[in-house]
Structure 1
Amino acid sequence: MVTQFMANHPLFCNIPQQAIPSILEQLNCRTENFKKGAILCHIGDYVQSMGVVLSGSINIENNDIWGNKNILANITPGQVFAETYACIPNEALMVTVTAAEDSQVLWIAIGKALLPSPTNPYFPVLIKNLLSIMASKNLHLTRKINHTSSKTIRGRILSYLSFQATKQGKQSFKIPFNRQQLADYLEVDRSALSNELSKMQKEGLLTYHLNQFHLNKI
């Protein structure tokens, strides 16, 4: 099951499927199940493995000592996390990783593929694929900065929803966040976010129900 899943994953692009089981074994791969709300990694932890979400979804959060939460990203099936820290094992995590729902994760000790004398001929291809994935994630973080750059709540909402509509290619779409998670992601107060969404709906800019949105063209 895991081999089939990873055969279609960008990390194993241009790697024969028959070579995947050996690679997974050499990289000490293992699967782990998490219940919704479970913490996979705490801020300050040192990790040896990157994670690939096989099912469910997880949130990457930046939580301060006062309990304020900022969701940096929602990681869905096929996406990876903690890959940077797994490549630099002496760097402590600056984020907390939490299961947004019941999830299954594949842990991969990707650092073993960085050894000077790789023991598998496909490791260089694996690392090239990883670099591509990391570049894409950097773009995602840049988008979040763009979404939160507006000084107004409405500006942040419009930036995020406009991007989602463009990404999904339609005016009606679902977002991966509930209301609190969206507020955390946009770095705004939940009540203020709800009030602004209500105003925007009354003004005819959009309609919504839970995480389903429809943007109206004016």
Structure 2
Amino acid sequence: MGSIFAAMRRCQLFDGIPEEKYQNVLNCLHGEVRAIPKDTILLRIGDCQKRPGVVMSGTLRISLYSEDGNLLTIDRLSRGRVFGETLVCSMSQDSPIQIDALNDTEVLYLDFDPLLLQQENGCPYRMRVTANLLQEMGRGALFLNQKMRILAQNRLRNRIKVYLQGFPVASNGEIRLEMGRGEMADYLCVDRSALSRELGRMQKEGILTYQGQVIQILDSKFLTA
């Protein structure tokens, strides 16, 4: 149970709950850990998400298909991240997204019926989990708001700027990204070669430098202008 509890400590869904009570919460929400092999599709577009989950280890990818059939990355979920909560709480029958495993992953599946149906089960932390769930869904709404801001930008450079504004910037101007170049292009809904060209131009203009998943901002006004 040590690895499960370690992931629960990093999951905001369980904030404010003493670790010694984690097992009580798992019993209340009928927690079940499953091993998910790499490249497994956990949820297909059009399917019904019956149970939300928490990533225990590994990485999941949330994506959707564009009108021309390209798979676009919306988000990547690492240890401690929750998925499927909005679909379950909305009781949606048709998922607009696909979820697949980028590597071998462990997932803690939960049952939200005790929260949504207010079932009597004697769990004193049910309200705490419910409050945390509302905060988690609020953060999800903010994430979608940023995504819409990105897509509203006509210029690629502005899309890059809005995307980078969502990351903490170190004192030396360094930003560590969570995606590689290809996935970043998908996230920004642009061609990978166009993204590489624009980053190259920005580097020549002294705005930033980049190497792998690390970008260093040289012009501090770029993110604030």
Q: TM-score, normalised by structure 1?
A: 0.89
Structure 2: how far apart are the matches of 1:8 and 1:36?
Answer: 23
**Is 1:55 aligned to residue 57 of structure 2?**
yes
Identity of aligned residues (%): 32
State which of 137, 140, 151 in structure 2 corresponds to 1:137. 140
Q: 1:211 to 1:118 in 2, by over 3 A?
A: same
State which of 114, 124, 129 in structure 1 corresponds to 2:127. 124
Query: Does the residue aligned with 2:134 lie in a helix, a strand or coil?
Result: helix
Deviates more, 1:63-72 or 1:152-161: 63-72
Query: Does the residue aligned with 1:163 lie in a helix, a strand or coil?
Result: coil
Query: Corresponding residue for 1:176?
Result: 178
State which of 19, 22, 29 in structure 1 corresponds to 2:21. 19
Contact 1:57–1:77, Cα closer than 8 Å, also in 2 = yes
Size of the alignment, in residue pairs?
A: 216
Structure 2: how far apart are the matches of 1:42 and 1:127?
Answer: 27
Query: Does the residue aligned with 2:166 lie in a helix, a strand or coil?
Result: helix
**Is 1:204 aligned to residue 206 of structure 2?**
yes
State which of 131, 138, 160 in structure 1 corresponds to 2:163. 160
Query: Corresponding residue for 1:77?
Result: 79
Structure 2: how far apart are the matches of 1:102 and 1:204?
Answer: 40
> Amino acid of the residue matched to residue 8 of structure 2?
M
**Is 1:109 aligned to residue 111 of structure 2?**
yes
Q: 1:168 to 1:30 in 2, by over 3 A?
A: farther
Q: CA RMSD in A?
A: 2.0
Structure 1: how far apart are the matches of 2:113 and 2:169?
Answer: 34
Q: Which runs of 5+ in 1 are unaligned?
A: none
The C-alpha deviation readout for 1:53-94, integer Å capped at 9, x for no partner, is 122222211114642122222222211111012224453211
Query: Does the residue aligned with 1:155 lie in a helix, a strand or coil?
Result: helix
Q: CA deviation at 1:95?
A: 0.3
> Amino acid of the residue matched to residue 149 of structure 1?
A
Contact 1:7–1:20, Cα closer than 8 Å, also in 2 = no
Contact 2:113–2:119, Cα closer than 8 Å, also in 1 = no
Contact 1:87–1:111, Cα closer than 8 Å, also in 2 = no
Contact 2:87–2:95, Cα closer than 8 Å, also in 1 = yes
Deviates more, 1:48-57 or 1:180-189: 48-57
> Amino acid of the residue matched to residue 93 of structure 1?
S
Q: Which runs of 5+ in 2 are unaligned?
A: 221-225
Deviates more, 1:46-55 or 1:16-25: 16-25
Structure 2: how far apart are the matches of 1:31 and 1:8?
Answer: 16
Q: 1:4 to 1:163 in 2, by over 3 A?
A: closer
Structure 1: how far apart are the matches of 2:10 and 2:161?
Answer: 34
**Is 1:68 aligned to residue 70 of structure 2?**
yes
